[in-house]
Chains A and B, each alone.
Chain A
Amino acid sequence: MKRSTAEIVREYGPFPDVEAVHGVSYDGRHVWFASGDKLNAVDPESGKVARSLDVAAHAGTAFDGRHLFQIAEDRIQKIDAASGAVLGTIPAPGGGGDSGLAWAEGSLWVGQYRDRRIHQIDPDTGKILRTIESKRFVTGVTWVDGELWHGTWEGDDSDVRRIDPETGRILEQLDMPEGTMVSGLESDGGDRLFCGGGASGKVRAVRRPRRS
């Protein structure tokens, strides 16, 4: 396992009227983040909120190319990114103990925080397809280049780690600086990982190490 200190390349926010960041996603243009009763789209260049959708947003956020998925209470909402309309909901696998959310390979991946697990579920029915055990409280989840990354937050420590999707073994770990929490994770498809900053109300971009 490779272990290093996370390199924070940029910080966004805090934003007006945002108490905390609960989930993060990226649609190719904007970084979306969940702030309780809103989904907000941030322009990663200017750092400004471009638009906001009024929708319950208590934990992880994901994007499948057309729709946003957002955990609220004990369900996952499918949201039209253009209009903000909730098109449908499926039950969340953790029954409300859910934390991170990612889209990959036609499935949704859901972190179950205190149970230290990640579920792969059917995005139409919510059926659990398989479960990966992690060793830490899971917050954000994301896939990039066939790599499964997730954020952890346990007590007063957070890190971002890449795990073996088959076994759950840790392959690489980026430790966040002390007091910096990860409450959501999304890759930009390149070398940036966007991390929700919890009660700091910030979103941070962390450099994804190139595999040698």
Chain B
Amino acid sequence: MESLITAAARALEAGDPLGALNRVALRNDAPSLALRGIAMAQLGDLAKAKTLLRSAARAFGPREAVARARCVVAEAEIALVSRDLSWPAKTLAGARASLASHGDLANAAHAGHIEARRLLLLGRIDEAERTLAEIGASPLPPASLVVRDLVVAGIAIRRLKTRDARAALDRAGKAALQAGIPALVAEVDSASLILNTPAARLIARGSEHPLLLGEVERLATSTALVVDTFHHVVRRQGTAVSLGTRPVLFALARLLAQAWPADVSREALISGAFQAKHVDESHRARLRVEIGRLRTQLKPLAGISATRQGFELAPKKTRDVIVLARPVEEKHAAVLAILADGEPWSSSALALALRMSARSVQRALEELARSNKVQSFGHGRARRWMTPPVPGFPTGLLLPSPLAKA
């Protein structure tokens, strides 16, 4: 290809984005725009990088399908790292198909991995897994293998399969060393932290302590009666009662379980489960009805006996009652749980991920910001939210070279 483009591309590959910019800073032809976009992304100006790559994709001629598709993939990757999940997935799918049909299998796989990561972030785990399966296990460069196994680990973590997650992260770590890309090694390390950071709280006999993901998984085989606030079920080994559609009953079960082996007063149950400010006789009548319903539901697992001041749980076939709760539990726990990945999110991306209205998310974020639980940067549409930053903020960029090298 051209002399300065070759020189700039070589500088980029050698990890010298400023050297690359020096060579093409004043040029506006398609390859220069693409190289400037990649250089800006490496320098961390993702907004500028996106604009440049979009212009480059437009500027490449109709005969330069591969170069154009690579720009689309790079732009999608930048969007993903900026947690901007609203970009058109169709465009990426088109670019992926185009790369595959032109024999650029490595970049086609890269496009597929970006799509799978997006689905994972959106909580569409089955779709993410299907997308990965489509890519197959064709020979990929080590850097692509890292990304692939990070997605596999992410899926396993969401499904509480710690052993699978650890195996995938081990593979990712080895491939990252082989690829020799420090940012990838750091990303694998920070992903591994998830397995060593509390994933839940265990509340039992009035006290609580944090649980690692592996411990949560092991609870599945414990003989205790578990009130699981993640799934809104009450279970003991294979027997489970789902109260997902009965929030009041679940709230009562949880209050009783948290206090066990003590009892809970009527007042505490009413204010805890009905969100009632003043307790009157009608609430007491309702409590009797709801306790009756809960008793019916829980029959295989526990009884509920009346005490002088309220009710107490009487578990069957076990001497243990525990409540499994989110590590941080408050009104906007779901928002916080997503922000806990330490990445900047736009409120619209949060709304997509949480299937909430943009307005509700906005309100939640503002409330959380007032209590210093989240922080934002940027303004208007570019505004991003994150929890106080974690060390080793991964960039996760593994951009395809947008040029057919010559």
Contacts and interface: CB of A to CB of B under 8 A. Distances in A.
Contacts of B29: 97, 114
Contacts of B31: 114
B65 interface: yes
B66 A155 contact: yes
Q: Contact size class for B?
A: 20 to 34
Interface string A125-142: 000000000000001000
B174 interface: no
Given A155-B63, A155-B64, A96 B406 contact: no
Contact of A114 (B2, B65, B66): B2
Contact of A73 (B4, B63, B65, B66): B4
A145 interface: no
A153 B3 contact: no
B64 A181 contact: no
Given A20-B405, A198-B405, A58 B4 contact: yes
Given A96-B23, A114-B29, A154-B61, A71 B406 contact: no
Given A99-B1, A179-B103, A20 B406 contact: yes
Contacts of A71: 3
A96 B61 contact: no
Which of B3, B4, B7, B62 lies at the interface centre, i.e. has the most chain A CB atoms within 10 A of its CB? B3
B1 A96 contact: no
Given A58-B4, A179-B103, A73 B405 contact: no
Contact of B6 (A58, A153, A154, A156): A58
A58 B7 contact: yes
A116 to B, nearest CB: 11
B283 interface: no
A139 to B, nearest CB: 7
B4 A96 contact: yes
Interface in B66-80: 66-67
A22 B65 contact: no
A59 B63 contact: no
A155 B406 CA distance: 12
Contact of B23 (A37, A73, A99, A183): A73
Q: Please report whether the interface of chain A is mostly helix, strand, loop or mixed according to DSSP.
A: loop
Given A73-B23, A198-B405, A59 B2 contact: yes
A36 interface: yes
Contacts of A181: 404, 406
A94 to B, nearest CB: 7
B35 to A, nearest CB: 12
Contacts of A96: 2-5, 7, 23, 27
Interface in A69-105: 71-74, 92, 94-99
Interface of A: 19-22, 36-37, 56, 58-60, 71-74, 92, 94-99, 113-114, 139, 153-157, 179, 181, 183, 196, 198-199
Given A73-B3, A96-B23, A156-B63, 17 more contacts: A20-B405, A20-B406, A71-B3, A72-B7, A94-B2, A94-B3, A96-B2, A97-B3, A139-B406, A154-B63, A155-B63, A157-B63, A179-B103, A181-B404, A196-B406, A198-B405, A199-B404
13 contacts: A22-B1, A22-B3, A56-B7, A59-B3, A73-B3, A96-B7, A97-B4, A97-B29, A155-B62, A156-B64, A156-B102, A198-B1, A198-B405
